[in-house]
């Protein structure tokens, strides 16, 4: 007999969602995390995360985020927590010049085509329409257009993780917090998870360990996964009245490369600040060595390079700044697949900075696969064979 049918290693965005869905199916499941989730040591913190149903990274992602919205509304009803705010998502880029986001060219055009394919409510806005509706955006180019999705917005990552872990426990799951996993052994009829608190015997393991995945699993993940430090900034508002009440989440590609862009969130009530960030993929780090401190120079560069003269009413004064990590693959896509050398082990990894919006739906799909139920979402595009 094993201690549990399934163990989920790592209880951030993906792990907490998978644990919850397995517990809903009545499976004997344990969740293990080296910290006490939700925490600020990985990729699933920072108060808010963008959500949008039309996914410019590729059509294959859209079913996950569509399902996620349904699950978050279900969790809101079960827990009384507000998890999803549909304030709208606005993506802006040139209609005539190249634009790229998360390594995908023509990101704006692909978002529009994804919305059309999946019947997602949206508008395509001219530059004049953007200026009229959202006048706080400045320095728009004459050929800029916008993709506006009224059902987009943001989720609260820490709340989502806490709600899913709470419901999982209520449904019978066990949690092992502050318990680092040292190794996973494959035995004839079980897998053994060696933890700092002792071994745990299970039939199957789901590894959703984020930036700790490659050190834990070794090949081929140590060759496929890179960890990049990212920084989030909250800039104080000088003129909050300049920000309209219907301000959406924004993704603004103001140049041709992956770094010529930023994203922003509407000010939350009582905070008098706007969260703004961009991404970098040039400098790599590790989960244990990442610099968690954000310097004033980094915030100043963020403001000068991206925010200054582009968003009215925002000052260069920083109310808060935090660092997180992205774990990325060579194509910046997800890995949702069984370990090539261990069929008892399923890996959810490399969510590459755009994973949280999909996480609840991914947890549902992986729970189907693990429990031998038929999943309604195609997982082949996220398999390891594409890197062979």
> For position 220, which CATH number holds?
3.50.50.60
Report the C-alpha gap between 280 and 276 in whole angstroms.
Answer: 14
Alpha helices (runs of H) in the chain, residue ranges in sequence order: 13-24, 62-79, 107-118, 127-133, 157-170, 213-217, 221-224, 296-302, 359-370
Structural domain span for residue 186: 4-46+157-224+331-387
Asked if residue 163 is part of any domain, the answer here is yes
Statement: residue 219 has pLDDT above 80: yes
Asked if residue 64 is part of any domain, the answer here is no
Q: What is the pLDDT of residue 354?
A: 87
| Segment 191-215, tens digit of pLDDT | 999 999 999 999 999 999 999 999 9
Asked if residue 178 is part of any domain, the answer here is yes
Q: What is the pLDDT of residue 93?
A: 95
Asked if residue 112 is part of any domain, the answer here is no
Query: Do residues 194 and 206 make contact, with C-beta atoms less than 8 angstroms apart?
Result: no
Q: What is the pLDDT of residue 388?
A: 87
| Segment 171-186, tens digit of pLDDT | 999 999 999 999 999 9
Vertex 77 angle, CA 72 and 79, to 5°: 90
Q: What is the pLDDT of residue 48?
A: 97
Mean pLDDT of the chain: 95
Query: Do residues 41 and 209 make contact, with C-beta atoms less than 8 angstroms apart?
Result: no
Tokens of 67: 């399902």
Q: What is the pLDDT of residue 376?
A: 83
Asked if residue 232 is part of any domain, the answer here is no
Q: What is the pLDDT of residue 7?
A: 98
Asked if residue 17 is part of any domain, the answer here is yes
Band of pLDDT at residue 190, cut at 50, 70 and 90: very high
Q: What is the pLDDT of residue 100?
A: 78
Asked if residue 106 is part of any domain, the answer here is no
Place of tokens 């344990």: 30
Total tally of structural domains belonging to the chain: 1
Query: Do residues 242 and 313 make contact, with C-beta atoms less than 8 angstroms apart?
Result: yes
Asked if residue 257 is part of any domain, the answer here is no
| Segment 34-73, tens digit of pLDDT | 999 999 999 999 999 999 999 999 999 999 999 999 999 9
Looking at the whole model, is its pTM more than 0.95? yes
Band of pLDDT at residue 256, cut at 50, 70 and 90: confident
């Amino acid at each position: 007999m094993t201690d549990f049918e399934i163990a989920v290693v790592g209880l951030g965005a993906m792990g907490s969602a998978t644990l919850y869905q397995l517990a809903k199916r009545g499976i004997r499941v344990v969740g293990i995390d080296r910290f006490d989730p939700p925490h600020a040591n990985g990729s699933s913190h920072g108060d808010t995360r963008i959500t949008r149903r039309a996914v410019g990274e590729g059509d294959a992602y859209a079913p996950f985020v569509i399902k996620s919205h349904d699950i978050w509304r279900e969790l809101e009803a079960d827990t009384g927590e507000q998890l999803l705010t549909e304030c709208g998502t606005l993506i802006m880029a040139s209609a005539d010049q190249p634009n790229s986001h998360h390594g995908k060219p023509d990101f704006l055009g692909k978002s529009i085509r994804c919305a059309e394919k999946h019947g997602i409510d949206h508008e395509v806005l001219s530059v004049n329409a953007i200026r009229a509706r959202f006048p706080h955006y400045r320095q728009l180019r004459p050929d800029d257009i916008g993709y506006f999705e009224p059902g987009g917005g943001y989720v609260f990552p820490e709340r989502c993780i806490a709600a899913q872990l709470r419901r999982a426990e209520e449904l019978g799951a066990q949690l092992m917090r502050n318990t680092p996993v040292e190794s996973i052994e494959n035995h004839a009829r079980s897998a053994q998870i060696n933890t700092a608190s002792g071994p745990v015997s299970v039939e199957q393991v789901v590894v959703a360990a984020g930036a700790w995945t490659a050190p834990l699993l070794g090949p081929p993940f140590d060759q496929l996964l890179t960890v990049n430090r990212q920084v989030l900034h909250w800039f104080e508002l000088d003129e909050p009245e300049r920000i309209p009440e219907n301000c959406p989440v924004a993704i603004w590609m103001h140049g041709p490369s992956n770094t010529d862009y930023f994203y922003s969130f509407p000010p939350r009530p009582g905070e008098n600040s706007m969260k703004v960030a961009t991404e970098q993929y040039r400098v790599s780090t590790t989960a244990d060595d990442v610099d968690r401190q954000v310097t004033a120079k980094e915030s100043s560069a963020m403001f000068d390079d991206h925010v200054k003269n582009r968003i009215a009413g925002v000052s260069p004064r920083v109310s808060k700044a935090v660092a997180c990590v992205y774990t990325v693959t060579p194509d910046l896509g997800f890995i949702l697949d069984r370990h090539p050398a261990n069929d008892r082990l399923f890996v959810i990894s490399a969510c590459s900075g755009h994973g949280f919006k999909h996480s609840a739906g991914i947890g549902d799909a992986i729970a189907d696969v693990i429990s031998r139920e038929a999943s309604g979402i195609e997982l082949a595009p996220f398999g390891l064979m594409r890197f062979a």
